[in-house]
């Protein structure tokens, strides 16, 4: 039987003590599920987005912020940006692409998009991702022709992780048969001048909210 302990795994968005957690995923072996928590979800007690929790108070603050969202994590693992890059080095991953996708992306993976951007394109039926193309697929936040949110990026991350598993990459107990989910019942809002996502456990969003804008 798989252990009941749940672990939140995060990846930093850059080096340094002021870095945020760019990717937040809860590993739940007892439910055989990976649950993505969008980085822009607002945590009232924290007074900030969930992606600032680790920066503000380390592992305890991150676990507490998730508890605000009614998400239980027994422990946490925070992966630095260089370590994540090293883990992806040399990988070649075949991902399905359902429709042509043009995304705005920084000039380099660790640069802010405000310092300049380039367009990256992915076309059906599939793409082979290597090197910077991996970072573009899992990291680009903004589509060219319409506002987009972290939810679209999470969907691409889920495609990528499932492709990794199906191609034999070892992620410990996680298997291709596991369920991949995203924190539900989110709506866009502006709090303290920040565009955020607000989580209401009792609220069911419509499609227009799921496709709403959630920018930095």
For residue 17, give its domain range: 7-83+170-210
Q: Taking the model in full, what pTM does it have?
A: 0.87
Sheet holding 33-36, edge to edge: 75-79, 7-12, 21-28, 33-36, 179-182
* Domain assignment of residue 215, yes or no: no
CATH number at residue 177: 3.30.420.590
Identify whether 34 is preceded by a cis peptide bond (ω within 30 of 0).
no
| Shared-domain flag, residues 17 and 58 | yes
Strand 75-79 with 7-12, pairing: parallel
Which pLDDT score, from 0 to 100, does residue 208 have? Answer: 41
Residues 108 and 154 placed together within one structural domain of the fold: yes
Number of domains within the chain: 2
What pLDDT, on the 0 to 100 scale, is given for residue 76? 96
Q: Is residue 2 domain-resident?
A: no
- Tell me the C-alpha distance between 148 and 141, whole Å: 7
Helix/strand/coil for 60: helix
pLDDT at residue 77, as a whole number: 95
Same domain as 158, residue 57: no
Average pLDDT over residues 197-205: 70
1 in a structural domain: no
| Contact predicate 188/180, CB 8 Å | no
pLDDT at 85 over 90: no
> Considering 166, 181, 197, which residue would you say is the last residue of a domain?
166
pLDDT tens by residue, 100-121: 999 999 988 878 888 899 999 9
- First-to-last alpha carbon distance for the chain, in angstroms, is 41
Q: Decide if pLDDT at 184 tops 50.
A: yes
């Amino acid at each position: 039987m798989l252990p009941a302990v749940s672990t939140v795994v995060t990846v930093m968005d850059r080096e340094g003590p002021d870095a945020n957690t760019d990717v937040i995923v809860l590993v739940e072996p007892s439910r055989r599920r990976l649950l993505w928590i969008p980085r822009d979800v607002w945590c009232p007690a924290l007074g900030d987005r969930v992606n600032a929790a680790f920066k503000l108070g380390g592992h305890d603050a991150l676990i507490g912020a998730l508890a605000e969202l009614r998400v239980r994590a027994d422990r946490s693992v925070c992966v630095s940006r260089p370590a994540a890059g090293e883990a992806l080095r040399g990988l070649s991953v075949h991902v399905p692409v359902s429709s042509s996708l043009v995304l705005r992306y920084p000039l380099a993976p660790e640069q802010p998009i405000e310092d300049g951007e380039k367009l990256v394109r992915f076309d059906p039926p599939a793409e082979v991702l290597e090197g910077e193309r991996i970072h573009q697929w899992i990291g680009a936040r903004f589509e060219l022709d319409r506002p987009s949110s972290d939810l679209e990026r999470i969907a691409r991350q889920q495609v990528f992780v499932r492709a990794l598993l199906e191609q034999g990459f070892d992620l410990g107990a996680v298997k291709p048969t596991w369920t991949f989910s995203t924190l539900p019942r989110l709506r866009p809002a502006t709090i303290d001048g920040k565009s955020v996502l607000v989580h209401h456990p009792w609220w069911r969003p419509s499609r227009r909210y799921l496709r709403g804008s959630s920018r930095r």
